[in-house]
């Protein structure tokens, strides 16, 4: 079973770790996957602090730390964040972290899906009218199904 609390920081997606453009994960406490936090302190690069999660996900997806705020994928990520927030017990930060971790693991296993596709598949896998589900469990099931293909 996939442990959503494990860092899986050694992942390299497509040969280029997504966090290369973002905050140093050693200082990232609970958000190792997205590198998103607003903690300050000496030696911590807060270049993504205050940036919306939808932008951060879109910039990771595009592998572009200077992604324009008008990029249409930002809206798509926002829609999936809001949808998954209503379908799961996770908040948007947890949704982002779980999605990025699932994407990193899948890429480590040889699947070359985009971050957006992973989020779309996770969102699509939960029906609208179900009770709220644990996204970490959904992510683990998705990864299990992917590896059995």
Per-residue pLDDT of the chain (149 residues; tens, 9 = 90+): 334 344 444 433 333 233 332 333 323 334 445 554 333 333 334 455 678 999 999 999 999 999 999 999 999 999 999 999 999 999 999 999 999 999 999 999 999 999 999 999 999 999 999 999 999 999 999 999 988 77
Dihedral angle sign, alpha carbons of residues 115, 73, 16, 32: negative
How many separate domains does the chain show?
1
What are 64-67's contacts with CB under 8 Å, separation 24+? 65/21, 65/22
CA distances from 102 to 13, 39, 72, 131 (A): 11, 25, 23, 22
Rounded to two decimals, the pTM is 0.71
Structural domain includes residue 26: no
**Distance separating alpha carbons of residues 49 and 133, to the nearest angstrom:** 29
**Distance separating alpha carbons of residues 149 and 10, to the nearest angstrom:** 24
Structural domain includes residue 72: yes
Structural domain includes residue 20: no
Structural domain includes residue 47: no
Structural domain includes residue 5: no
Structural domain includes residue 17: no
Domain span holding position 143: 52-147
Spatial contact of 119 and 99, defined as CB atoms under 8 Å apart:
yes
Contact residues for 90 (Cβ-Cβ < 8 A; gap 6+): 84, 98, 134, 135, 136
Structural domain includes residue 15: no
Structural domain includes residue 14: no
Neighbours of 133 (CB within 10 A): 16
């Amino acid at each position: 079973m996939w442990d959503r609390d494990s860092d899986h920081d050694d992942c390299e997606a497509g040969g280029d770790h997504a966090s290369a453009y973002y905050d140093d994960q050693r200082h990232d406490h609970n958000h190792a996957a997205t590198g998103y936090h607003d903690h300050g302190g000496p030696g911590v690069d807060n270049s993504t602090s205050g940036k919306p999660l939808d932008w951060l996900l879109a910039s990771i997806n595009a592998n572009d730390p200077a992604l324009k705020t008008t990029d249409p994928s930002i809206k798509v990520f926002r829609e999936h964040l809001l949808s998954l927030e209503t379908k799961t017990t996770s908040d948007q930060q947890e949704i982002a972290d779980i999605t990025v971790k699932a994407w990193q693991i899948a890429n480590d296993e040889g699947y070359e899906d985009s971050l957006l596709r992973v989020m779309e598949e996770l969102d699509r896998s939960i029906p609208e009218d179900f009770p709220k589900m644990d996204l970490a469990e959904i992510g683990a099931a998705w990864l299990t199904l992917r590896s059995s293909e």
